[in-house]
Amino acid sequence: MQPTLRELAEAARIQRQAMRDKSYRSTPLGLEVARYYRWKKNEWGATSTTLRDYEAPLARFALEHADLELHDFEPPVGTERLREFWDGGWGDRSPRTRAKVLSIMRDFFAWAVREGKLHGDPTAPMRSPKRRGIERDTFAPENVLRLILAQPRLRDRIALMLLFRLALRKSELAAVQFKHFGHDRRRLRVYGKGGTVANVPVPDEIRLALAEHIALEQPAPGEFLLYPERTTGADPRTGRRFAGVVWEDRSRPMSATALHRWWHRCLDVAGLQHRPMHEARHTAITEFLRATGNLKLAQQLARHASIQTTADVYGHLDDVDLERALDQLAPIATAADNDSDRRQLFPPPRS
């Protein structure tokens, strides 16, 4: 018998409440999730955003299997149970969402195996869904310039340049503090995914803009480039200067939600259509690859562990790039020793 809409709504309410008050941790699996959560936070160094993303499906996992313990997920039985859970909760969702949930479950069970709580990993036979027909768009160079120049505040122009030149991710941009720039501002310490840290060269145009901003604002080393604030008298459609700041906290980074709002305001000021912020990163790496043709350096800019990721995901080149590259090659006829060979390669058209 299929559950009624009211029953489904009540189940969803119970799950949300269990997330808020952490009551899901009273189940046998919930206790293990709590231990994993502490490891992820304290030893792996996950951010608060990552922890929230990971906790939601794991809390649901603990609640839906409140009568089971971790050893009940030894493969192969555990694999089938996980497949049923995965399909029941996310079977009709996008491949991207299903892949993300599976990635979280894999990380949890890999931790359980390392800790000696399981002999085998039930997620090992499971495969991520293929994501087909993905289009990753880039900004045209004239729109990048238009977007940056339209911003009335220098700090916003600097932040946009970091996105479009240094290929910063959203979380990496949010984490930027003035102390992360080297003493001569020629390097930026970027805190990336998985607790990685990279020192990225800062181009002169960003360094000069940063020097001007520091001279005007005199920020403390611990201040964030983008921070939460409430302003008044600003019209994002006209780009007029902010008349005043009602409240600000420069010692805290913008939240993910506030950063999205900031990005959309920047697009509104420039009169551009709303597009995902991540397309700025695609643009940066694609334009770098077009300019240099050096996939290894593009990997360094993208801060990818694998060069294959850079090639597959961010090498957003098209047939126009291929045409240009072929045209730049020396003609085959240049290798011919004499005119006779050249005529054989390229005979004159028949009349």
The SS3 assignment for 177 reads strand
pTM of the model: 0.62
Q: Quote the tokens at residue 217.
A: 């604002």
Residue type, 47: T
Mean pLDDT by 10 residues, the chain (351 residues): 58 61 87 94 83 90 93 95 93 88 93 95 88 69 94 95 94 95 90 85 92 93 92 56 70 92 95 94 89 87 84 61 59 58 55 53
In order of 8, 28, 77, 347, the CA distances from 80 in angstroms are 24, 19, 5, 67
Residue pair 324/217 in contact by the 8 Å Cβ criterion: no
Domains and CATH numbers, the chain: 5-114 (no CATH), 141-288 (1.10.443.10)
**According to the model, what pLDDT value does residue 345 have?**
47
Q: Running DSSP on this structure, what letter comes out for residue 349? A: P
The SS3 assignment for 103 reads helix
Q: Which residues of 62-78 are buried (b: 16+ CB within 10 A; e: fewer)?
A: bbbbeebebeebebeeb
**According to the model, what pLDDT value does residue 79 have?**
96
User: In this structure, how many other beta carbons lie within 10 angstroms of the beta carbon of residue 193?
Assistant: 13
**According to the model, what pLDDT value does residue 114 have?**
95
**According to the model, what pLDDT value does residue 94 have?**
86
Q: Quote the tokens at residue 284.
A: 């940066």
Alpha-helix runs per DSSP H in the chain: 5-21, 28-42, 48-64, 77-90, 95-114, 141-149, 154-166, 170-174, 204-217, 256-270, 278-292, 295-302, 307-309, 319-328, 339-345
**According to the model, what pLDDT value does residue 226 have?**
95
